[in-house]
């Protein structure tokens, strides 16, 4: 088969959000939600490749946070949240961003996003004073709609972990230090969603609440910051593009004693990818406190407030105490955007053409390998490709795609753009005898995405080759 005659000369251009948005739409990573109706602002859908990339990122996080440790359990709590949870967590009172209105064009802005005191839309300086805007989405539960029937869509996954603390503790007999990990949707009515999937109204979080003894919290906080930066590097983000930022006292959330943000160099600037907070005993403490104040029995009867004390027993001192918690909290959507930003590369080939290639880590790649019969109408080649696809699919490394377009150049271009690490081509030499190979041996070419180098290997060696690529 014909080898590509072009070699990469250089990488061109800095990353640009428009290029990423265009690639995401063109190749089916991310679409504006409900775009046939003009979209819904700050809401996106993940397409065939986006869902694979997102799932792979979440699986990598789950592996690192749950399977590869012996001190973390998983959880999948509900999105619909009892209002008392968000009252006692402090979100009803404080989960607000400062908002200003432009008196001239009537648009609304987050006060801290306003530059030079001017409206972003019309440039007017005729703005209202900032006032707090609570970002939680409210909904009603059940057929009766009244003052009491409302609930919230959770603004963070964390509260489901705190309210299940006792359940997990009792069902697993864990001792401190230990963590509870959860991945799931969160919702915030952002005043100004922007920058593609960076700031949206519906997003996913990967959160760990790691419970420790008071006094050991600072040390654990430091450890988790280091571990999380290391993990993002393993997902392919360059060290130069990752910065640990210590929030000032004014920036801290109502629950935090100290927060370190992991910032990433997104196309629109250096911005938060993950926050690692020392939430102290704030949440477990406030969910337990109303217990003491109101009395357990009354609460069970009213079915209103927290019904268990979220404490552990200090056996030496023979008393209950509320653990401290360290919380690494990462956004899945921001993670996807960071991975795509880092991986997006444009190379000028020797023939002057530009090659777009997504140099994504193999374990995150939406398609692990494409199997391509050189001619789409050749039954023998297509059957062989189908059989190879089935064999590779059964290895369990992820999605293997049969790419039967009959246009090898176009297939390579597509798989470069979507980051497929290897293309396996079944060609006219595959099943023919040749002096270059032992009698009866069938071979294919394997093309590496990054180097574009092709090598011919025997089909029987392919599973081992592919397995090594992804392990
Ligand atoms: N439980 C702690 C918490 O929710 P946060 O800093 O508000 O802390 C954690 O959010 C992470 O969730 C952020 O670092 C970011 O990656 C992601 N995130 C927050 N708001 C987001 C939004 N509107 N759109 C996309 N991701 C968001």
pLDDT at 11 over 60: no
* Centre of ligand 1 from the C-alpha of residue 306, in Å: 25
**pLDDT > 70: percent of the chain:** 93
Which CATH number applies to 367-470: 3.30.2350.10, 3.40.190.10, 3.40.50.800, 3.60.21.10? Answer: 3.40.50.800
* Centre of ligand 1 from the C-alpha of residue 259, in Å: 13
* Centre of ligand 1 from the C-alpha of residue 127, in Å: 28
**Smallest Cα–Cα separation from 190: which of 199, 198, 182?**
199
* Centre of ligand 1 from the C-alpha of residue 331, in Å: 6
**Smallest Cα–Cα separation from 155: which of 207, 98, 211, 228?**
207
**Smallest Cα–Cα separation from 44: which of 192, 183, 272, 204?**
204
Confirm or reject: Cβ of 334 under 6 Å from ligand 1.
yes
Nearest CA to ligand 1 atom 26: 331
* Centre of ligand 1 from the C-alpha of residue 323, in Å: 23
Q: How far apart are CA 422 and CA 162, in angstroms?
A: 43
Q: Which band of pLDDT confidence, cut at 50, 70 and 90, is reported for residue 439?
A: confident
Domain ranges of the chain: 30-93+140-339, 96-134, 367-470
CATH classification (class only), 30-93+140-339: alpha beta
pLDDT at 2 over 60: no
Q: 52-91: per-residue pLDDT in tens?
A: 999 999 999 999 999 999 999 999 999 999 999 999 999 9
pLDDT at 240: 97
Per-residue DSSP letter, 127: B
pLDDT at 370: 98
Which tokens hold the place of 248?
Answer: 């000032």
Confirm or reject: Cβ of 331 under 6 Å from ligand 1.
yes
Instruction: Kindly give the interhelix angle for 332-343 and 17-26, rounded to the nearest 10 degrees.
Output: 100
Q: Which atom of ligand 1 is nearest to the CA of 201?
A: 23
Q: 130-176: per-residue pLDDT in tens?
A: 999 999 999 999 999 988 899 999 999 999 999 999 999 999 989 99
Confirm or reject: Cβ of 199 under 6 Å from ligand 1.
yes
Helix (H), strand (E) counts: the chain: 13, 25
pLDDT at 384 over 80: yes
pLDDT at 304: 45
Instruction: Kindly give the interhelix angle for 379-393 and 462-470, rounded to the nearest 10 degrees.
Output: 50
pLDDT at 56: 98
Confirm or reject: Cβ of 203 under 6 Å from ligand 1.
yes
pLDDT at 10 over 70: no
Per-residue DSSP letter, 64: I
pLDDT at 190: 96
Report the pLDDT averaged over residues 412-423: 98
Confirm or reject: Cβ of 283 under 6 Å from ligand 1.
no
Q: How far apart are CA 256 and CA 277, in angstroms?
A: 6
* Centre of ligand 1 from the C-alpha of residue 273, in Å: 8
Mutate-to-test residue for ligand 1 from 284, 334, 341, highest number of ligand atoms within 8 A of CB: 334
Q: Which atom of ligand 1 is nearest to the CA of 259?
A: 6
pLDDT at 455 over 90: yes
pLDDT at 315 over 60: yes
pLDDT at 9 over 60: no
């Amino acid at each position: 088969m014909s080898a590509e005659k072009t070699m990469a000369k250089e990488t061109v251009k800095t990353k640009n959000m428009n290029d990423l948005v265009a690639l995401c739409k063109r190749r089916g990573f991310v679409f504006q939600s409900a775009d046939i109706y003009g979209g819904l602002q700050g809401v996106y859908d993940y397409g065939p490749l986006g869902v694979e990339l997102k799932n792979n990122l979440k699986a990598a996080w789950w592996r690192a946070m749950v399977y590869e440790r012996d001190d973390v359990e998983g959880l999948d709590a509900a999105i619909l949240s009892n209002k008392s949870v968000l009252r006692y967590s402090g979100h009803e009172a404080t989960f607000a961003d400062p908002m200003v209105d432009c008196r001239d064009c009537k648009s609304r802005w987050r006060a801290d996003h306003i530059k030079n005191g001017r409206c972003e839309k019309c440039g007017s300086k005729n703005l209202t004073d900032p006032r707090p805007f609570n970002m939680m989405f409210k909904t009603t539960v059940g057929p009766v709609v009244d003052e009491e029937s409302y609930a919230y869509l959770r603004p963070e996954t964390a509260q489901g972990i705190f309210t299940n603390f006792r359940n997990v503790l009792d069902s697993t007999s864990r001792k401190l230090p230990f963590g509870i990990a959860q991945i799931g949707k969160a919702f915030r009515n952002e005043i100004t969603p922007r920058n593609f999937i960076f700031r949206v109204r519906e997003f996913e979080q990967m959160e760990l609440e790691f419970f420790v003894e008071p006094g050991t919290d600072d040390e654990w906080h430091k450890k988790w910051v280091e571990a999380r930066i290391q993990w993002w590097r393993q997902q392919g983000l360059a060290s130069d593009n990752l910065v640990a930022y210590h929030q000032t006292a004014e920036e801290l959330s109502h629950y935090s004693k100290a927060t370190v943000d992991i910032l990433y160099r997104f196309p629109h600037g250096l911005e938060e990818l993950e926050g690692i907070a020392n939430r102290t005993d704030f949440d477990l403490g406030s969910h337990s406190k109303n217990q003491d104040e109101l009395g357990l029995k009354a609460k069970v009867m009213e079915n209103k407030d927290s019904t268990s004390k979220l404490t552990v027993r200090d056996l030496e001192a023979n008393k209950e105490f509320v653990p401290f918690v360290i919380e690494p909290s990462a956004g899945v959507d921001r993670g996807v955007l960071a991975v795509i930003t880092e991986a997006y590369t444009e190379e000028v080939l020797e023939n002057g053409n530009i090659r777009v290639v997504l140099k994504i880590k193999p374990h995150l790649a939406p398609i692990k390998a494409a199997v391509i019969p050189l001619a789409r109408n050749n039954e023998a080649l297509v059957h062989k490709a189908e059989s190879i696809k089935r064999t590779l699919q059964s290895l369990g490394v992820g999605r293997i795609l049969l790419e039967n377009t009959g246009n090898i150049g176009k297939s390579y271009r597509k798989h470069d753009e979507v980051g497929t690490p290897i293309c396996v081509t079944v060609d006219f030499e595959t099943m023919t005898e040749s002096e270059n190979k032992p009698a009866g041996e069938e071979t294919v070419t394997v093309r590496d995405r990054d180097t574009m180098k092709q090598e011919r290997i025997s089909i029987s060696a392919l599973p081992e080759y592919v397995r090594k690529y992804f392990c």
